[in-house]
Amino acid sequence: MKRAFKFRFYPTDAQAAELARTFGCVRKVYNMALQARTEAWTLRQERVNYNATSAMLTAWKKTDELAYLNDVSSVPLQQTLRHLQAAFTNFFAKRARYPSFKSRKKSRRSAEYTTSAFRWCDGRLTLAKMTEPLDIVWSRPLPDGTTPSTVTVSQDAAGRWHVSLLCDDVIEQTPATGAVGIDAGIDSLLTLSTGEKITNPRHERADRHRLARAQRELARKEKGSNNRAKARLKVARVHARITDRRRDHLHKLTTRLVRENQTIVIEDLTVRNMLGNHSLARAISDAAWRKFRTMLEYKADWYGRNLIAVDRWFPSSKLCSACGALAQRMPLNVRTWTCRCGTVHDRDVNAARTILAEGLSVIACGGGVRPQRESSRTGRSSAKQENPRVTTGTPVP
């Protein structure tokens, strides 16, 4: 199994200049190839593939206007053409939108190197066109005996440099017992069927005052000035702090859930539609339910767990987990309610328990759950073939 390990590094001035040139050339080649493919189809109804764009790149390097493309490593330039080919493949398969041009200010600054464009020796990484290895902060060790097959260097909006090493890794799939149902919320980030409620840390709200102050300072600066560039970095650092803390919390939470439970049942929430509620959109975005599910999906696949997504229309909050009776109405302001059987329910705990019961019924005999989402990278679904309505991280036994 391939896993990416991401680390921060601190380049020298010469390395930073070389990487900046590489980022610019990668963006230039991508945009030119995209324009060539778009014009070929618009004007001549001709499809241009990767091999054709690779031949174009060779011709571009021989011109005086684009001779500077020879100053950087050729591997990242070839890799960006492969990325463009993958983008078109996803577009024609209706998994993604039409590829868009890369912007100097807004697009992600990155470059990908394969084994022919870097040297890995005794834990020291040296990229092509560089004489000194990168000063990487090894926050965790790589798997024993592994050698990176692909290296991706990037710089975020806050000016931080990162290197991602793609390595072969084997994760021991230790057996686990038990099952858990999960109800996502805002006051409590998650409510488990065991009755445990996990508090929502609200990372964006915690730094909202700091972010607003940085944005006000940015708005006062003259466009194009050095002071505006410095103010923009301050805003980006606040956003990076919020993102890092949120990601760290979700990683710890999802890893714990996957290691402790063999079966995990969640709701198939349509977060995009829920963001249309302007009263709750900011809080929903801060909770990052979409990111939480994505992490659960790939970690369930790593550890050999069953992940089931219950249909979004399943009335988990209105259904009594004790007798199965369905309540008529359940407004959002009702947090506790009493069923006609006499059971007093906490709204979120009851929802988590009914979600778990529905998920277990899927394993037993099939039920109303959403189909597995198709991966935009592989184009394949990991859903159980015998029952296409089951969403699982691994085949259900």
Which residues are the active-site residues? 183, 267, 348
Distance CA 221, CA 229 (A): 9
Max Cα-Cα span within the chain: 83
Phi, psi of 263 (to 5 degrees): -125, 130
Residues 238, 214 contacting (CB under 8 angstroms): yes
> What is the SS3 string spanning the chain?
CEEEEEEEECCCHHHHHHHHHHHHHHHHHHHHHHHHHHHHHHHHCCCCCHHHHHHHHHHHHCCCCCHHHHHCCHHHHHHHHHHHHHHHHHHHCCCCCCCCCCCCCCCCEEEEEEHHHEEEECCEEEECCCCCCCCEECCCCCCCCCCCCEEEEEECCCCCEEEEEEEECCCCCCCCCCEEEEEECCCEEEEECCCCEEECCCHHHHCHHHHHHHHHHHHHCCCCCHHHHHHHHHHHHHHHHHHHHHHHHHHHHHHHHHHHCCEEEEECCCHHHHCCCCCCHHHHHHHCHHHHHHHHHHHHHHHCCEEEEECCCCCCCCECCCCCCECCCCCCCCCEEECCCCCEEEHHHHHHHHHHHHHHHHHHHCCCECCCCCCCCCCCCCCCCCCCCCCCCCCCC
Distance CA 98, CA 71 (A): 31
